Structure 1
């Protein structure tokens, strides 16, 4: 396994060099999302970042969405002072060619010892795995290929269904848009929570998820088979966890009788309204446990629970642990 130093040095430095590694067939959002985050951070905190887009051979790179990235740097042309290296994901043929035929894995082996941290977006984790950078480390990737990566690299400790995972200097993220959340987490690690939140607001993100949350949200799962009317209600519940979310109130919002609404909700979402509301509130509490130092009393009241006891019982049902145990397990030690 290449030497990667577990060094979390937050000493103020001049502009950090960020490198996004791409290849023919790369997923456009895997590149544009993180690039936008770092550009917003540079606007908010000038002198923080210097961004390069690189590919194995340099020049123009065709994305899988039909866009072309021009004038990418060849990997050997990159400066020596790389702070953060992020490998994007994309279509399997292009990624395989980049890893094996174009020497990306070998280059990563050589680059790793001189880089402060290395990250991947989506299937970019396969490049890190090929270079041995995920051996004996926790990691994740797109939910569709978690098992495949685990089979190909048994030494990696796969965390299924996570937005992103940090293990020392190695960060991996799930599919596509989670690259934005990964990049914001990297910025927060460098520049603090206020800057991260400003970027999230600027990009109009609906929420800033912690890495511990599932790749597919409760809302998305519930909306998968729901009618338009209940899809809108599910979205509304997620934005209003502090409201009275009784069956009677929810039924009135969609102009149904309570009995008809309860039956329709189960049929279309796969769970009862009460269970879905509880899951939504637990998800909100989980975010706050990971992102704040608030007491359980404040977290309970801020996520719609009437008491700490109600919060703890709901956590035990969904996660099998107490809120404090969840915080201890999922919150980065440096947070």
Structure 2
């Protein structure tokens, strides 16, 4: 049985969004001995299509000329995705191909192109954590979950950013051929069959806006530089020369988060950096980050990254070669 995989790319796409899943399918075809996955790439125009890193991929068939049944449609992402949402030729082409595909998938910000084509309405979906707010804001009919590595809704699959396309493709192989082949492919490519944790472990929780007021911007810088100081609302209001009520209102209005929320986010980020760059015991990390105790450090990490501080350090601590 031939499984035709059509991958949609565009100028400025993320090469790994395409290459990762393509190599999974190629390895599955090799190890199964059946050669059943046949990968094709298409774009708006035939010829070379250049990825964001400068590498060009040759496209033989433009999207308008792709016909016939498709087993798996894969729409990749990249920094250029936002500019292409208004390109009706591309969006309509994706919608047309989806209509003749057994299953439809996206990698990274490719989910926005699926959403623009109306293919995610009423569905739960994921994307790169950096693009989640954009997907949520532009397409309110999509239930955006920014943590999973991939999400399956019927025959529509969406994945998180970049390397998560490999996780997605392994799951597709497992669905088609069983977990044994998917495990063998993962071993051959030296990747996880099931990556531990969601993508929140890779994201940075700091999402406050820089205030318009220079004194408040300076206060944010003070908070970030001094996580272990007294950063209570009364102390911060005194530092800003305002009443507590006025300070809380203005800070929240200009930064988009309350002072207390900003302090927690800043301290969480300080703890993250300490875990990455030092061997300090958790007691010292918690103290220097202003979180007080290892128990509070643990709760903050579970809340923001859904992972323990110890697991985070094991995965992300910088080590000398």
Q: Report the TM-score range of the alignment, normalised by the length of the smaller protein.
A: 0.5 to 0.7
**Distance (Å, rounded) in 2 between the aligned partners of 1:31 and 1:21:** 9
- Residues 1:264 and 1:73: Cα distance change in structure 2 (over 3 Å): farther
From 148, 152, 163, the equivalent of 1:177 is 163
TM-score (norm 1): 0.63
Partner of 2:77: 89
Post-superposition offset of 1:262: 3.5
Mapping 1:186-335, distance limit 5 Å = 186-206=172-192, 208-209=194-195, 213-217=197-201, 224-230=273-279, 261-267=281-287, 272=294, 275=298
Tell me the secondary structure at the aligned position of residue 141 of structure 2: coil
Tell me the secondary structure at the aligned position of residue 48 of structure 2: strand
- Residues 1:227 and 1:84: Cα distance change in structure 2 (over 3 Å): closer
Post-superposition offset of 1:110: 2.0
**Distance (Å, rounded) in 2 between the aligned partners of 1:39 and 1:225:** 41
**Preserved contact between residue 150 and residue 164 of structure 2 (Cα < 8 Å):** yes
Partner of 1:60: 48
- Residues 1:196 and 1:267: Cα distance change in structure 2 (over 3 Å): farther
Tell me the secondary structure at the aligned position of residue 283 of structure 2: helix
From 55, 60, 64, the equivalent of 1:76 is 64
From 146, 150, 159, the equivalent of 1:160 is 146
Tell me the secondary structure at the aligned position of residue 116 of structure 1: strand
- Residues 1:262 and 1:155: Cα distance change in structure 2 (over 3 Å): closer
**Distance (Å, rounded) in 2 between the aligned partners of 1:203 and 1:157:** 32
**Distance (Å, rounded) in 1 between the aligned partners of 2:273 and 2:200:** 11
Deviations 1:272-310 (A, max 9, x none): 38949x96xx979xxxxxxxxxxxxxxxxxxxxxxxxxx
Post-superposition offset of 1:39: 0.7
Deviations 1:97-119 (A, max 9, x none): 54433611111222222211000
**Distance (Å, rounded) in 2 between the aligned partners of 1:200 and 1:56:** 32
2:35 is the alignment partner of 1:51? no
**Distance (Å, rounded) in 2 between the aligned partners of 1:124 and 1:118:** 11
Deviations 1:21-45 (A, max 9, x none): 1000000110111111111101111
Deviations 1:163-221 (A, max 9, x none): 111101110111111111011111111111001111111111156227xx421338998
Partner of 1:22: 9
Q: Which runs of 5+ in 1 are unaligned?
A: 1-13, 231-259, 285-335
2:113 is the alignment partner of 1:127? yes
Tell which structure's C-alpha radius of gyration is larger: 2
Tell me the secondary structure at the aligned position of residue 200 of structure 2: coil
Deviations 1:211-260 (A, max 9, x none): xx421338998754425453xxxxxxxxxxxxxxxxxxxxxxxxxxxxx7
**Distance (Å, rounded) in 2 between the aligned partners of 1:74 and 1:141:** 26
**Distance (Å, rounded) in 2 between the aligned partners of 1:224 and 1:203:** 30
**Distance (Å, rounded) in 2 between the aligned partners of 1:283 and 1:172:** 23
**Preserved contact between residue 54 and residue 72 of structure 1 (Cα < 8 Å):** yes
Partner of 2:263: none
TM-score (norm 2): 0.66
**Distance (Å, rounded) in 2 between the aligned partners of 1:20 and 1:266:** 46
Q: Which runs of 5+ in 2 are unaligned?
A: 205-268, 309-321
- Residues 1:215 and 1:262: Cα distance change in structure 2 (over 3 Å): closer
Tell me the secondary structure at the aligned position of residue 70 of structure 1: strand
- Residues 1:206 and 1:171: Cα distance change in structure 2 (over 3 Å): closer
